[in-house]
C-alpha cells in the first residue's frame, strides 16, 4: 500500500514536470489544442495504468513512446477523415492565441534585444509547426526532451539512421529559415 503511494507520488512528480512540454509537442503535431490535450491525457492514463512500477530513468522515454504512438494513431485517423472531408477546412485552434503575448516580460533585457528574442521565438514557433511531422517530432524529442538516438528511434518506431536523417534535415531547415536571427 505504502509502495503504491510512493509510486503514485513519483509518477505525479514526473507527469507534472513533463505535461507542459508533452502538450506542446502534441500541439505542434496536431495543431489543435483539444486534440493535443486528449492525446496527452491518454498517454498519462496509459503510463499510470501499465507502467507505474518502472524506474525514473525509463519514464521519460516510455511516456514519449506512448504519446508518439497516440500521435501516430491520430494522424492515421486524421488522414482517413481528410479523405472524406477534403472540402472541410479545419478550424485550427490557436490555443491561447498568440503565444507572443504570453511570453513573460524580462525587465533585465534591453527592449531591442527583447524584441529580437520575441521575434525569434515567434518565428521558431511557426517554423517548428511547418516542419514535416517526423522531422518535427524527432527534433523536439532530441533537442527539447533530450532523448538519445536509440530512445527517439524506439519512440518513433523507426531506425536510428532515420532519426539521424530526420534530425539533420530539421536542423538544416530551421537554420535556413531562422538565418536572420543567428
**Residue ranges binding another protein (CB under 8 A):** 8, 11-12, 15-16, 19-21, 23-24, 33, 37, 40-41, 44-45, 47-48, 73, 95-96, 99-100, 102-104, 118, 120-121, 124-125, 140, 143-144, 171, 174-175, 178, 182
Complex with another protein: residue 123 or 134, whichever CB lies closer:
123
- Cα(58)–Cα(19) distance, rounded to whole angstroms? 16
Q: Which three cell numbers stand for residue 149?
A: 538516438
Complex with another protein: residue 6 or 73, whichever CB lies closer:
73
Complex with another protein: residue 133 or 181, whichever CB lies closer:
181
Q: Report, in Å, the least distance between residue 151 CB and another protein.
A: 17
Q: Report, in Å, the least distance between residue 141 CB and another protein.
A: 12
Query: How many CB atoms within 10 Å of residue 167?
Result: 18
Residues 6+ apart with CB under 8 A from 72: 157
Q: Report, in Å, the least distance between residue 154 CB and another protein.
A: 21
Q: Report, in Å, the least distance between residue 54 CB and another protein.
A: 15
- Cα(59)–Cα(21) distance, rounded to whole angstroms? 15
- How would you classify residue 31: left for phi > 0, otherwise alpha for psi between -120 and 50, otherwise beta? left
Q: Interior CA angle at 161 toward 155 and 163, to 5°?
A: 40
Complex with another protein: residue 91 or 101, whichever CB lies closer:
101
Amino acid at each position: 500500500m505504502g509502495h503504491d503511494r510512493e509510486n503514485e507520488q513519483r509518477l505525479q512528480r514526473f507527469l507534472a514536470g513533463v505535461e507542459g512540454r508533452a502538450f506542446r509537442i502534441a500541439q505542434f503535431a496536431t495543431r489543435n489544442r483539444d486534440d493535443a490535450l486528449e492525446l496527452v491525457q491518454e498517454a498519462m492514463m496509459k503510463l499510470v495504468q501499465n507502467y507505474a512500477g518502472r524506474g525514473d530513468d525509463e519514464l521519460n522515454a516510455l511516456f514519449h513512446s506512448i504519446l508518439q504512438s497516440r500521435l501516430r494513431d491520430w494522424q492515421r485517423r486524421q488522414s482517413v477523415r481528410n479523405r472524406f472531408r477534403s472540402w472541410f477546412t479545419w478550424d485550427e485552434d490557436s490555443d491561447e492565441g498568440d503565444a507572443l503575448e504570453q511570453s513573460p516580460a524580462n525587465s533585465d533585457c534591453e527592449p531591442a534585444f527583447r524584441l529580437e528574442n520575441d521575434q525569434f521565438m515567434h518565428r521558431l514557433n511557426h517554423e517548428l509547426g511547418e516542419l514535416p511531422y517526423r522531422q518535427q517530432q524527432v527534433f523536439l524529442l532530441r533537442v527539447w526532451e533530450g532523448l538519445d538516438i536509440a530512445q527517439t528511434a524506439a519512440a518513433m518506431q523507426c531506425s536510428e539512421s532515420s532519426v539521424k536523417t530526420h534530425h539533420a534535415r530539421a536542423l538544416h531547415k530551421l537554420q535556413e529559415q531562422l538565418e536572420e536571427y543567428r
